[in-house]
Amino acid sequence: MQKMPAWADVVLIPLISVLLASIISAIVILAIGENPWAALKLMVSGAVGSSYGWGYTLYYATNFIFTGLAVAVAFHARLFNIGGEGQAMLGGLGVALICLYIPWPHWTLALLFATASSALFGALWAAIPAYLQATRGSHIVITTIMFNFIASGLLNYLLGNQLKPSGQMEPATASFPEPAHLPTLNDIAGLFGSDLFRSTPVNVTLLIGLVACVLVWFLIWRTRLGYEIRAYGHSESAARYAGISPNRIIMITLLISGGLAGMMAINNVMGEAERLVLNAVEGAGFIGIAVALMGRNHPVGVLMAAILFGFLYQGGAELALWTSIPRELIIVIQALVIMFTGALDNLVRWPLERVFAATRSTRGAE
């Protein structure tokens, strides 16, 4: 028996959660003596009020699409991949190596190989925790989170020593050569004589992200592998009965998950920075967890949640720029949204379920 209709689960709960988070954020903003209404107006106009704002919002959203999908895919096997951050860092390494050391004739080829390389690096970084989980039962949450630190240390070392051009102070690679630069959506709009997304970093990776959403949907709901992943996720004992190997599912699922997280790097490293810098991921790996939670692990939900978080990122940056609301408070607002949509899901769900149960029983009694 369904406790409430699907639309309430998918639309109403996230909506109420966001509303609650906004109310508390408004109270916090009031408390420091700012005007929450003005702040909201600024966020909205800054993030979605212009094609410039949209450009940034969508750029951030692209990052979150990949990390959100990564968490969502793993979650279908009830594997909690907290390692998106580290996997995306390694993906960046994969992109950098491909772009720096191979002379590409055209960006399309570079993109193709950089995508493959980023996915491969991300997947390999997930492979070690996956193997430990499958064969030794080492908990994936612990190992992946530890691997984030190892990834950070590894990149610190490589960027500080091997990959840094001699004579440069900053721990970063050299800029990628021109043919490895991805066209931004503004460049593409320019072909049609439009100035959409003026000088914003949103680039062709967004389209790859959308394709990834579709592919993940096919993987999870239409392929045999997705069927096995979901079966294993719902019931390991039943999966064993059906002849589905748990070890195989754990390995494959986390490789896909790690690959998706790694692919984020084509957006931020290849598409935006055009070189690999330290801390390029900027927490997007963790935001992916919230995005997947809010998006109910469905690609469409992930896409919507990614855009919402893109809005929060861009809107937050605008707040920091134009008001005296400190940057830390913007993180507080983002954290509130994560908390309400993710961690405090049941806070909204239980009362809502009761409301639906009550309305149904009165209807039943008539």
Partner 1 sequence: MSAAPAIELKGISKAFGPVQANKDISIRVMPGTIHGIIGENGAGKSTLMSILYGFYKADAGEIFINGQKTEIPDSQAAIASGIGMVFQHFKLVENFTVLENIILGAEDGALLRPSLAKARDELKSLAEEYGLNVDPDAVIEDIGVGMQQRVEILKALYRQADILILDEPTGVLTPAEADQLFRILERLKTEGKTIVLITHKLREIMDITDTVSVMRRGEMTATVKTADTSPPELAELMVGRKVLLRVEKVPAKPGEKVLEVRNLNVTDDKGVHRLKNVSFDVRAGEILGIAGVAGNGQSELLEVLGGYEEATGTIRVNGQEIDLSGAHSDGQSRRARGIAHVPEDRQREGLIMDFFAWENTAFGYHHDPAYQQSRLLMDNNAIREETAAKMERFDVRPPNPQLMAKSFSGGNQQKIVLAREIERNPDLLLVGQPTRGVDIGAIEFIHQQIVALRDQGKAILLVSVELDEIVSLSDRIAVMFDGQIMGERLPEETNAQELGLLMAGITDTDRPHSVAEIEENLANAGVGRAEVGD
Smallest distance, partner 1 to C-beta of residue 224, A: 6
Which residues from 290-309 bind partner 1, rule CB under 8 A?
Answer: none
Which residues from 190-219 bind partner 1, rule CB under 8 A?
Answer: 218
Smallest distance, partner 1 to C-beta of residue 302, A: 20
Q: Does the footprint of partner 1 cover residue 6 (CB under 8 A)?
A: no
3-state SS class at 280: coil
Which residues from 231-270 bind partner 1, rule CB under 8 A?
Answer: 231, 234-235, 237-246
> What values do phi and psi take at 50, rounded to 5?
-145, 165
Identify which of residues 220 and 281 has a Cβ nearer to partner 1 in the complex: 220
Is there a contact between 77 and 229 (Cβ–Cβ < 8 Å)?
Answer: yes
- Residue found under tokens 């590409």: 104
Which residues from 214-233 bind partner 1, rule CB under 8 A?
Answer: 218, 222-224, 227-228, 230-231
Smallest distance, partner 1 to C-beta of residue 346, A: 18
Residues 6+ apart with CB under 8 A from 176: 96, 99, 100, 270, 274, 275
53 vs 224: CA distance, rounded Å: 41
Identify which of residues 198 and 360 has a Cβ nearer to partner 1 in the complex: 360
Query: What is the distance, to the nearest Å, from the Cα of residue 112 to the centroid of all Cα atoms in its chain?
Result: 21
Task: Give the Cβ contact number of residue 321 at 10 Å.
Answer: 10
Identify which of residues 1 and 191 has a Cβ nearer to partner 1 in the complex: 1
Residue range at the interface with partner 1 (CB under 8 A); choices 90-98, 282-290, 326-334, 355-363: 355-363
Q: Using CA of residue 152, residue 335, residue 285, residue 136, what is the dihedral sign?
A: positive
Smallest distance, partner 1 to C-beta of residue 299, A: 16
Smallest distance, partner 1 to C-beta of residue 246, A: 7
Is there a contact between 57 and 48 (Cβ–Cβ < 8 Å)?
Answer: yes
Among 337, 293, 346, 348, residue whose Cα is nearest residue 315? 337
Tokens representing 204 are: 């062709």
Smallest distance, partner 1 to C-beta of residue 79, A: 17
Which residues from 133-162 bind partner 1, rule CB under 8 A?
Answer: none
CA angle 286, 287, 288 (to 5 degrees): 85
Number of shown-chain residues binding partner 1 (CB under 8 A): 26
242 vs 353: CA distance, rounded Å: 34
Identify which of residues 231 and 352 has a Cβ nearer to partner 1 in the complex: 231
Rule CB under 8 A: which residues touch partner 1? 1-2, 218, 222-224, 227-228, 230-231, 234-235, 237-246, 357, 360-361, 364
